[in-house]
């Protein structure tokens, strides 16, 4: 299979970027998207040209580092999947493929397809810690948690922090990400002592980082590789509303 690629190239955060044309020739349909980029980079290196910078790590859809827009879709056309789980058989021979970094004010471009997503880390850090004591696992019946209440935080905790929800949202909102991080502790009794402070701090940090507001378009849910439910945003809204009310009462 042969493909015509239009790839975003940008030397550093201060320079202007542009789409540059490349050819990917004789690519097996069983080649993953990132492996295809590896092949292109090998050819560029052999010619003495600058290879294309892009992020990857596990290449198993777990780490979330392969943050790419493929033909205008976060992580490409196969959902729910990360780019590393996208294979070239998903495209037609001779297709033109546009490859760009995630676009958001809070995700500044470092180089080419590499972006800085530390804003998501700062939201998590703002949540702090839980006061549950470390050590060996408690006896199973010491804190009774119904199965549904145990399943909900596990589903929220599946978020891999890739940022696709932000890239897909026309407002560059991080509500799905923040909702997942707030919810997976708010659903559990161990997260109860700090739940009010946690949601206030995380939501306010999210706003300070420059993410947009949610207007319920749900593009975030459509592209999420972890298939996070939009219900985590509703949970976050409830947690935040109660926390603000209690903050006003105590003040």
pLDDT for 190 equals: 81
pLDDT for 188 equals: 83
pLDDT for 53 equals: 97
Provide the residue ranges of all domains of the chain, joining segments of one domain with +.
3-111, 118-250
pLDDT for 129 equals: 82
pLDDT for 147 equals: 83
- Cα dihedral sign, 175-178-180-186: negative
pLDDT for 83 equals: 96
Q: Tell me how far apart the alpha carbons of residues 103 and 169 are, in angstroms, rounded to a whole number.
A: 10
pLDDT for 251 equals: 57
Element (H, E) at 23: strand 18-24
Q: What is the CATH number of domain 118-250?
A: 1.10.1060.10
pLDDT for 32 equals: 96
pLDDT for 187 equals: 87
Query: pTM score, two decimals?
Result: 0.91
Q: Tell me how far apart the alpha carbons of residues 202 and 127 are, in angstroms, rounded to a whole number.
A: 5
Residues of the chain with pLDDT under 70: 134, 138, 140, 251
Q: Do 83 and 59 meet the contact criterion of CB atoms below 8 Å apart?
A: no
Q: Tell me how far apart the alpha carbons of residues 125 and 214 are, in angstroms, rounded to a whole number.
A: 22
pLDDT for 242 equals: 94
pLDDT for 221 equals: 96
The CATH architecture to which 3-111 belongs is Roll (3.10)
């Amino acid at each position: 299979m042969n493909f015509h690629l239009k790839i975003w190239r940008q030397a550093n955060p201060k320079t202007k970027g542009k789409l540059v044309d490349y050819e990917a020739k004789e690519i097996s349909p069983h080649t993953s998207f990132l492996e295809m980029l590896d092949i292109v980079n090998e050819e560029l290196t052999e010619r003495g040209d600058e290879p294309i910078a892009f992020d990857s790590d596990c290449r198993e859809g777990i780490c979330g580092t392969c943050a790419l827009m493929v033909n205008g879709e976060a992580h490409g056309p196969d959902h729910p999947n990360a780019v590393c789980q996208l294979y070239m058989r998903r495209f037609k021979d001779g297709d033109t493929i546009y490859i760009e970094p995630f676009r958001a004010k809070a995700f500044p471009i470092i180089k080419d397809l590499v972006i800085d997503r530390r804003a998501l880390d700062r939201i998590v850090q703002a949540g702090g810690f839980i006061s549950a004591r470390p050590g060996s696992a408690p006896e199973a019946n010491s804190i009774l948690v119904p199965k549904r209440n145990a399943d909900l935080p596990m589903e929220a905790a599946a978020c891999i922090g890739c940022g696709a929800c932000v890239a897909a949202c026309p407002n560059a909102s991080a509500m799905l990400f923040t909702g997942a991080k707030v919810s997976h502790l708010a659903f559990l009794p161990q997260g109860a002592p700090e739940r009010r402070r946690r949601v206030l701090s995380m939501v306010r940090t999210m706003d300070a980082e420059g993410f947009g507001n949610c207007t319920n378009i749900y593009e975030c849910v459509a592209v999420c590789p972890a298939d996070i439910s939009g219900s985590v945003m509703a949970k976050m809204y409830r947690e935040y509303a109660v926390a603000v009310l209690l903050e006003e009462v105590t003040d």
